[in-house]
Structure 1
Amino acid sequence: MDYPELAARTRRFSLGAPRAVTVTADGAHVLFLRSSGPEDPADKLWVFDVAGGQERLVADPAQLLSGADDLPAAERALRERLRLSAAGIGSYTLTPNGAGVLFTLGGRLFRADVRTGEVAEVPSAGSVVDPRPDPTGQRIGYVSAGALHVIDPDGNDHVLAAEDGVTWGLAEFIAAEEFHRFRGYWWSRDGRSVLAARVDESRVPRWHLHDPANPDQAPTTVAYPHAGGPNAEVTLHLLDLDGGWVDVHWDRETYPYLVSVSWSEAGGPLITVLRRLQQHGLVLSVNPRTGETQVHAELADPRWVEPVPGTPAYLPDGRVLVGGELAHDGYDARCLFADGSLLTPPTLYVRRVSGRFDGDLIVEATDGEPSEQHIYRVRVAAAGTGVEARRITTAAGWHIAYAAKDTLVIGELSLEHAGTRYRVFRGDEPVGELTSLAASPPYAPRPVLQRVTDRRLPTGVLYPRNHVTGRKLPVLVDIYGGPGHQEVLSVRSRWVERQWWADAGFAVVVIDNRGTPGVSPSFDKAIHRRFADVVLTDQVDALAALAEKHTDLDLSRVAIRGWSFGGYLSALAVLRRPDVYHCAVAGAPVTDWALYDTAYTERYLGLPDDGSDVYAHNSLVEIAGEPPAGPDDARPIMLIHGMVDDNVVAAHTLRLSAALLTSGRPHSMIPLTGATHMAAGGLSERLLRLELDFIRRSLPSA
């Protein structure tokens, strides 16, 4: 079986691998999801008993659900925002003692006992989305058809909040897609009240997604907040189970974005709110009796604010943990602060706070090498006692962590092995590993990773396995290049598909330009209001620098391919620099930034009507509409787009195609019927041969 088919059947070797790892609050168990094997897409719920070092099955969807697993619309939308294509159990939540687990199948609610393995369906009044137990373990909250429900200890189902045309307890599109806040309600510590988000999308424009391959089906209508347009109105309310209601007060006109909410055992609710252009934000504590808020920290940056996941949060001594940037005294770092005091060394680029371990913080961070991420144990010291962050992981690669009480799980990804290896520790002692049933890729790529130019841009070069030095190779630049995402990682899975391209006869080049994370805040934010210029300049300069070091790269034959922002960058490259790039594959590209969502686009480009030409300057449609200067400037483009993509709607590619046609530029288009932005289910892998054929036909002969 060749790579594209094998990758499609195994979902790029992810099926059968553990995911959604959680450590119970008492540290006694590690919960995770995993399917039965390398071609099984249905995830089951498993538990690893820390004391015994053994894992066992808790819940099998095949035994619990007869018939089709029809998901509620809100659940489908949530999975799309999470980029989750697996079937079976998509997610779960734990009771505070870790003994109970809640999950849904086909909109039905189930509760499992981790200790006994007993699973029972919990009757509900409607299709269930996002079930969550209260901290006492007696009640269950959930959302159904936009209404917030509570099931009491006697099994009675009450509607806590419902309103026509409004949703309660769900994250709106912007919160989930751009701020990664995937939930919309939070229980109080005593289980007697709920902090709930009310979302009114009545002002948001309605867009209609229709798959022309199914003309008998009505279009799907979505509320899509495009750049410069109105957002959903999001408010917070404290709802008592006995009917009481308190509004949470903050200046919503000035700070309309509700970015994060937490309500922990250590203190009351904490929220983070941002201005529309995200250059200023506030961390606020909420008085649960009155709804009044108090400022604990301000976040400010002339470009944009980038909160650290896992913050804000209360520390055990009552201080508020906040993530932010240190940009003075020569420092250029992402750090953690407790009530303004520095907790992490300014050499670290903090990426996430992932848990607590024996009283300390467990932090994922990078120190100097952006292709790697390591785990640090950060001492939660009182003010004035210094900073202490001890690195736990030693092997080169990318590490993730989950922690509670005295149990720590570390997931290791590396160039040295396939997949993610999850090791479980109690204290400093290893107690076992989570078993992976995933297939291994057919080869072990060995990319050459190095940093080039005066900007020290991270790059990787991959050759065919049978390459003979001195033989010139056409170049395939395989990129993303957008904010919030890196491609040049010391992780085997990032290079397996690229090895297939290399073995097809290419030198594969990957470049992380400025705007991608992991180097420094100033590196991240160099793209502010100038997407097209910075990213393309870095790509061109890095490619030239690599050709000086790798003399087998033939720069007279360069192809470029990418998806989403990478699709935008690929098309931009051949339109703006046809002297460098000779053909492009652009999958699901954002071609007109005025058609993309508010929070993402305005964060980087500002408002469309601010009087500048920023949007036009960065628009592919504008560039494509200009006739090529000469025949050598009309480089061929293959466009690919899912017809029911609700993130980057198909209008982007259709408008670009129309502009290319008008200006006489060669291009082809593959519409993916029924496909969303993920192009899941093996679809993207089965496109590979079509892309390869296009690139081979489009590149000049040697």
Structure 2
Amino acid sequence: MTTGQPSFPRQYARTQRFTLGAPRGYALSPDGARVVFLRSASGTDRAQRLWVLDLDEGREFTAADPLTLLAGADEELSPEEQARRERTREGSAGVVGYAVDEAVELAAFTLSGRLFVSELRAGTTRELPVQGPVVDPRPSPDGRQVAFVAQGGLRVVAVDGAATSDGAGAPGDGTGNGPTADRILAAPDGPQVTWGLAEFIAAEEMGRHRGFWWSPDSDRLLAARVDESPVRRWWIADPAHPDREPAAVAYPAAGTANAVVTLALLGLDGSRTEVTWDHVRYPYLARVHWSAGGPPLLLVQSRDQREQRYLTVDTETGATRTVHDDEDEVWVEPFPGAPAWTPDGRLVRIADEGGARKLFVGDRPLTGAPLHVRAVLDVGEDDVLFSASGTDMKDIGVYRAWFRGSGDQGGWERVGARPHPTVSSAVRSGELVVLSQASAEWPGARVEVLRLDADGGEKTLATLASYAEEPQLTARPRFVLAGEREIPCAVLLPTGYTEADGPLPVLLDPYGGPHGQRVVAAHHAHLTSQWFADQGFAVLVADGRGTPGRSPGWEKAISRELAAVALEDQVDALRALAGSFPFDLERVAIRGWSFGGYLAALAALRRPDVFHAAVVGAPVTDLRLYDTHYQERYLGHPDQEPAVYAENSLVTDEGLSGAVEPHRPLMIVHGLADDNVVVAHALRLSAALLAAGRPHEGLPLSGVTHMTPQEQVAENLLLLQVDFLKRSLGMT
């Protein structure tokens, strides 16, 4: 007898990991009257709508509904928009992003490459006739203009439609077949040149997803010119459709040329001033900040990422001046929200000092151990709002630290403190804060609108409702520290398990590498692991060295030893916890995706004495084939350190690297349309295994990228993994 309720894998896929229907993407008006956000209509509706919460009236209303604006037509994405969504791992539809003016009275966004603006007080939306397809529209601070990228050029249009056009484009279709009101500020001067877009490395590795910035006075823009002509071209084919031409991708693999990124100041009056710095020594443009607190502020990095320089820009001449340098013999790191200016012109930055990751204003640290600062969230008149973890790495909180006034003596305090660990984030404008908190104690996230007092007090003004579905299972992670290194771990056992049930086959379920923390105090982060546990496994999730959130030394321990260190910590965590949990060490498997897939393959090939099967999803196998900024940070330049690359790779030109007997079953899964970890990685691993006489299974996913948002694909991937693991471990 069936109830009609979908299985967990189907529910997990259909709800996009229970994110659909949950509020996200907040903007707060400085007058404290409005909260703007995105939310779809239900837990299975992919189309995000633009919403406004009017705090004075205490009501929510929809400002933009994509179904209405597109008259029911399907959304069509340009290649540029598809690339942006892949870099941000965006799997939903509709209004997936927007930008606002300084007063948060006007929002701009795209649908099907068309430009729309919403009057947020009235809740009305209209289309602006411009050349398209439109990418990344952003209103000027005064709300009178909208800048955007179309066909590789940076363009601007007056919100009232008063500007004159330099070209043709049909109102509403974005194809260029009728009169438009926009004009171009910077046109591409070569076939591989774009203005106003983030290059692949910036978007994929640096966390910089934009390529232009308005001046506080709304009279000019600082724009990135990206020339991809030096970058090697790779070709992404679709073998399931041999009639289609392969897509050309400019991919800067380790040791090869990057795109050339420069900046120019573009005036609305047609003026152009080139921004100058030592591009040879500092080729990476990691961050740009432009606010009323000071001149444009740049963060540039050396190619080996052992030095980064903070530069100010003279807006009259384009010359730059160094205001600070960071150096590290291992690597330096760019952080979200930094650098920035305080309103009185002091530099806000995050840096590693004395073994701790600290928040600085000017030369003075505002924080110290045990806080590990992760991001700057907002800079106020007297304080900085930031996120950090402490001695309990799974507990990620929002804090404020004062840099003047009564708090000038130092210290910090937590915002929205709870009696249990949470994973928290926040957006602030003035005294208004939107605080989002997830916890292992409840499903999903709770979102509150708070007012912060100058003395640190808090008042809850409203909550934002979530329409997300609740999962049909409850995750029950047990958080522990494993071994001498106190490796953060989560252990999940089958629902209803008792000691009388005896030892269980073990499934390690890590990411285990840079920028990927899995052991967090959030219920939904452990749902898939709990589902695997309910299939009869004891699931272990371990965040070893190299994962974020603990200390700079913990993160940087993997330098030049990526494979050995990451794998060692998985083995040590497993063995350290075997005496405390019902682990059957004669039946141990591991699964993972991306870095986790790489780690799973390492485990099966190099430690078959410990691991007996592996699911290897989208793995990086030949590390020379991954990108410059990521790979060279951890392993150096492949021409200078070829032995380091060979030691850390799964395969080399000679075949398998470091593999020992006995052979263990592997299932290799890879999306054929993946432009981040290209399918060549999986194919080279498969070829090397075949050459070594090692049987294995493969799942090529046609039309799938590094994400797997397709409902049937995501569901069946989980089911097929369980089937493979049970067969491989002899489970009945």
1:40 pairs with 2:45: yes
How do 1:539-618 residues align onto structure 2 when only pairs under 5 Å count? 539-550=570-581, 552-618=582-648
Q: Which moved more, 1:147-156 or 1:650-659?
A: 147-156
Q: Aligned-pair distance for 1:531?
A: 0.4
Residues 1:164 and 2:197 aligned together: no
Q: Does 1:669 align with 2:698?
A: yes
Q: Please tell me whether residue 474 in structure 1 is matched to residue 505 in structure 2.
A: yes
| Aligned counterpart for 2:447 among listed residues 422, 432, 435 | 422
- What are the Cα deviations for residues 488-526 of structure 1, in whole angstroms up to 9, with x where unaligned? 111100111111111110000000010001110000100
Residue 94 of structure 2 aligns to which amino acid in structure 1? Answer: G
For 1:325, the aligned partner's letter is: D
Structure 1 residue aligned with 2:671, among 610, 622, 642? 642
Structure 1 residues 252 and 664: CA distance shift in structure 2, 3 A: same
**Residues 649 and 657, structure 2, Cα contact 8 Å, conserved in 1:** no
Asked whether 1:394 is paired with 2:424, we answer no
- Structure 2 partner of 1:352: 375
- The structural deviation recorded for 1:579 is 0.4
Alpha carbons of 1:284 and 1:626: their partners in 2 closer, same or farther (altered >3 Å)? closer
User: Is the contact made by 1:626 and 1:663 (CA closer than 8 Å) also made in structure 2?
Assistant: no
Q: Distance in 1 between matches of 2:316 and 2:246?
A: 45
Shift of 1:572: 0.5
Is 1:142 the counterpart of 2:173? The answer is no
| Correspondence for 1:451 | 481
Q: Is the 8 A contact 1:446 1:462 kept in 2?
A: yes
Q: Cα distance 1:469–1:335, how it changes in 2: closer, same or farther (>3 A)?
A: same
* Residue-by-residue CA offset, 1:160-214 (whole Å, 9 max, x unaligned): 1112321000000000000010000111122221111000000100000011001
- CA shift, 1:50, in A, is 2.5
1:336 alignment partner, SS class: strand
| Cross-structure match for 2:435 | 410
**Alpha carbons of structure 1 residues 669 and 158: separation in structure 2 relative to 1, 3 Å:** same
Name the stretch that deviates more: 66-75 or 600-609.
66-75
1:19 aligns to 2:24 (yes or no): yes
Range with greater deviation from structure 2 (491-500 or 336-345): 336-345
Q: Work out the CA distance in 2 between the residues paired with 1:242 and 1:412.
A: 45
In the alignment, which residue of structure 1 is the partner of 2:170? none
CA distance in 1, matches of 2:359, 2:677: 34
- 2:499 is paired with a residue whose SS is coil
Instruction: For 1:611 and 1:429, locate their aligned partners in 2 and report how far apart those are by CA, in whole Å.
Output: 56
CA shift at 1:629, angstroms? 5.3
Q: Which residue of 2 aligns with 1:342?
A: 365
Give the C-alpha shift of residue 383 in structure 1: 12
Q: 1:681 aligns with which of 710, 713, 728?
A: 710
Deviation per CA, 1:427-450: give whole Å up to 9, x if none.
321111111001001122211101
Give the alignment partner of residue 253 of structure 2, picking from 223, 226, 229: 226
Task: Label 1:624 to 1:26 Cα distance change in 2 as closer, same or farther (>3 A).
Answer: farther
The answer to whether the 8 Å contact 2:372/2:388 transfers is: yes
CA RMSD of aligned residues (A): 1.6
Gaps of 5+ in 2: 1-5, 165-181, 453-457
Deviations 1:358-408 (A, max 9, x none): 642211111111111111111122799421211123222111111011101
**Residue 361 (structure 1) aligned with residue 384 (structure 2):** yes
Q: Is the Cα contact below 8 Å between 1:266 and 1:315 reproduced in 2?
A: yes
Deviations 1:547-605 (A, max 9, x none): 0222x110100010000000000001000000000000011000011000000000000
SS in 2 for 1:288: coil
1:695 partnered with 2:720: no
SS in 2 for 1:527: coil
Distance in 1, matches of 2:52 and 2:205, equals: 32
Report the more deviating stretch, 141-150 or 374-383. Answer: 374-383
Q: 1:21 Cα shift? A: 1.8
**What percent of counterpart residues are identical?**
47
Q: Which residue is 1:94 aligned to?
A: 100
Q: Is the 8 A contact 1:414 1:492 kept in 2?
A: yes
Residue by residue over 1:675-694, the C-alpha shift from the partner in whole angstroms, topping out at 9 and shown as x without a partner, is 00001122223211111111
C-alpha separation in 2, matches of 1:636 and 1:27: 58
Query: What corresponds to 2:567 in structure 1?
Result: 536
Alpha-carbon separation, structure 2, partners of 1:253 and 1:638: 43
Tell me: CA distance 1:50–1:659, structure 2 relative to 1, closer, same or farther (3 Å).
same
Contact 2:544-2:570 within 8 A present in 1 as well: yes
- So what's the TM-score if we normalise by structure 1? 0.97
Equivalent residue letter for 2:255: G
Offset at residue 357 of structure 1 (A): 5.3
| Deviation, structure 1 residue 54 | 2.4
* Structure 2 CA distance for aligned equivalents of residues 74 and 218 of structure 1: 18
Deviation, 1:117, is: 1.0
Contact 2:605–2:658 under 8 Å retained in 1: no
Q: Deviations over 1:595-626 (max 9, x none)?
A: 00000000000000114400000111149636
Residue 53 of structure 1: CA displacement? 3.1
Question: Which residue, 293, 304, 314 being the options, matches 2:341?
Answer: 314
- Does structure 1 retain, via aligned residues, the 8 Å contact 2:442–2:523? yes
The alignment partner of 2:138 has SS state of strand
Query: 1:281 is matched with which residue?
Result: 308
The 8 Å contact of residues 356 and 404 in structure 1, kept in 2 or not, is answered as no
Letter in 2 for 1:475: V
Indicate yes or no: 2:540 matched with 1:509: yes
Measured against aligned partners, the alpha-carbon deviations of 1:65-103 in whole angstroms (never above 9, x if no partner) come to 032211111111001000001011110000111111111
- Cα distance in 1 for residues equivalent to 2:134 and 2:357: 38
Give the distance between the partners of 1:300 and 1:628, measured in 2 at CA: 37
| 2:672 partner letter | M
Secondary structure of the corresponding residue to residue 443 of structure 2: coil
Q: Which secondary structure state, in structure 2, belongs to the residue aligned with residue 418 of structure 1? A: strand
- The residue number in structure 2 matching 1:57 is 62
Q: Measure how far apart 1:627 and its partner are.
A: 9.8
Give the conservation status (yes or no) of the 8 Å contact 1:488–1:511.
yes
Q: Which amino acid aligns with 1:247?
A: E
- In 1: Cα distance, 2:111 partner to 2:507 partner: 42
Aligned to 1:653: 682
CA contact (8 A) 2:607 2:660 kept: no
Query: How many residues matched?
Result: 695
Q: Cα distance 1:612–1:436, how it changes in 2: closer, same or farther (>3 A)?
A: same
Distance 1:592 1:652 in 2: 6
What secondary structure, in the 3-state scheme, does the structure 1 residue paired with 2:222 have? Answer: strand
Residue 420 of structure 1 aligns to a residue in which SS?
strand
Q: Distance in 2 between matches of 1:390 and 1:626?
A: 49
Q: Check if 1:527 corresponds to 2:558.
A: yes
Q: Is 2:113 aligned against 1:107? A: yes
User: 1:151 corresponds to which residue?
Assistant: 157
Report the CA distance between 1:452 and its aligned residue.
1.4
Q: Kindly indicate whether the alpha-carbon contact (under 8 Å) linking 1:9 and 1:39 is maintained by their aligned counterparts in 2.
A: yes
Change (3 A) 1:360 1:50: farther
Q: Which moved more, 1:147-156 or 1:433-442?
A: 147-156
Rounded to whole Å, the distance in 1 between the matches of 2:25 and 2:408 is: 36
CA apart distance, 1:412: 0.6
